[in-house]
């Protein structure tokens, strides 16, 4: 299959609804503003890969464009549950929560999470500096009142890290999969995410090289490379 050809992608998808490459086709439709087609591809693909971060992120973008902000918020939270390093999802979640008028404490937590992923993110810094002091002071006053509530909530919060959703797939398919030849024209961060989630680390790095040639954001590329290197190191230790 030629990944440079949208027609071939469409034909391949029609015969392989269970392909993990569905976000690549959905992303092409989204960029062409073909929202109905993009949504349909996502919905079909997510039936087979319901927790795929790349597919969920594209679906969240569709909901956002169509004005369904609460649904987009819900999907983005789901993305971060299964891909905690997804910076674009974290930033977009903050933006949507701001528009929805979420509580300052909730926004503060979201922006702090963005800053934990990107320590140079200026908007996150400004929001935390502006709101953080006041919010922390308010939390300090309420401490004696909410102490019991926090104790009740602790077991629920501790369960999240136990569900190891962020870990790379146990099957490392780098050596088994056919190499994917991707031209700079087709290279996208969505494709990087798809390959990374499937353990195709060398191919993901090739796509990042193509993105670098296209002149995409250097910091985003560096962050993805660092994430992939960490995943490879973890696999080697195992």
Q: What is the pLDDT of residue 164?
A: 41
107 and 94 in contact (C-beta within 8 Å)?
A: yes
Give me 132's structure tokens.
Answer: 């953080």
Angle between helices 189-197 and 22-31 (to 10 degrees): 170
Using only the alpha carbons of the chain, give its radius of gyration.
Answer: 19
Determine the straight-line distance between the first and last CA of the chain, rounded to whole angstroms: 33
Name the DSSP letter for residue 163: S
pTM of the model: 0.61
Q: What is the pLDDT of residue 172?
A: 35
Q: What is the pLDDT of residue 60?
A: 96
In tens digits, what is the pLDDT along the chain, a chain of 238 residues?
A: 666 677 888 888 888 899 998 999 999 999 999 999 999 999 999 999 999 999 999 999 999 999 999 999 999 999 999 999 999 999 999 999 988 888 989 999 999 999 999 999 998 898 888 876 555 444 433 343 333 344 444 444 444 444 444 333 333 333 333 444 444 544 577 777 767 766 777 877 888 888 888 788 888 888 888 888 888 877 777 6
Pairwise CA distance, residues 227 & 221, whole Å? 10
Angle at 61 between CA 9 and CA 29, to 5 degrees: 25
Residue 38 burial (10 A CB sphere; 0-12, 13-18, 19+) = buried
What is the set of domains in the chain, with CATH numbers? 6-131 (1.25.40.10), 167-238 (no CATH)
CB atoms within 10 A of CB 63: 21
Name the DSSP letter for residue 128: H
Pairwise CA distance, residues 92 & 60, whole Å? 9
Angle at 226 between CA 84 and CA 107, to 5 degrees: 35
Q: What is the pLDDT of residue 203?
A: 77
Name the DSSP letter for residue 194: H
What are the helix and strand counts (H, E) for the chain?
A: 11, 0
Helices marked H in 16-121 — which ranges?
A: 22-31, 35-48, 53-65, 69-82, 87-99, 104-117
Pairwise CA distance, residues 96 & 116, whole Å? 19
Name the DSSP letter for residue 224: H
Pairwise CA distance, residues 82 & 189, whole Å? 17
86 and 53 in contact (C-beta within 8 Å)?
A: yes
Q: What is the pLDDT of residue 228?
A: 85
CB atoms within 10 A of CB 85: 18
């Amino acid at each position: 299959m030629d990944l440079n050809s949208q027609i071939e992608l469409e034909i391949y998808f029609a015969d392989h609804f269970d392909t993990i490459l569905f976000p690549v086709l959905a992303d092409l439709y989204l960029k062409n503003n073909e929202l109905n087609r993009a949504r349909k591809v996502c919905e079909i693909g997510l039936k087979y890969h319901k927790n795929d971060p790349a597919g969920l992120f594209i679906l969240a973008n569709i909901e956002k464009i169509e004005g369904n902000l609460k649904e987009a918020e819900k999907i983005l939270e789901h993305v971060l549950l299964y891909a905690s390093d997804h910076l674009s999802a974290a930033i977009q979640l903050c933006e949507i929560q701001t528009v929805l008028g979420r509580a300052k404490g909730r926004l503060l937590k979201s922006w702090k999470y963005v800053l934990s992923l990107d320590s140079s993110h200026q908007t996150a810094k400004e929001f935390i500096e502006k709101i953080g002091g006041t919010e922390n002071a308010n939390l300090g006053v309420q401490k004696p009142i909410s102490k019991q509530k926090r104790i009740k909530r602790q077991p629920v919060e501790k369960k999240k890290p136990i569900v190891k959703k962020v870990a790379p797939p146990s099957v490392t398919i780098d050596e088994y999969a056919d190499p994917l030849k991707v031209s700079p024209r087709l290279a996208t961060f969505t494709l990087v995410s798809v390959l990374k989630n499937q353990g195709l680390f060398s191919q993901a790095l090739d796509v990042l090289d193509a993105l670098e040639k296209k002149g995409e954001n250097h910091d985003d590329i560096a962050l993805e490379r660092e994430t992939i290197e960490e995943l490879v190191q973890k696999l080697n230790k195992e």
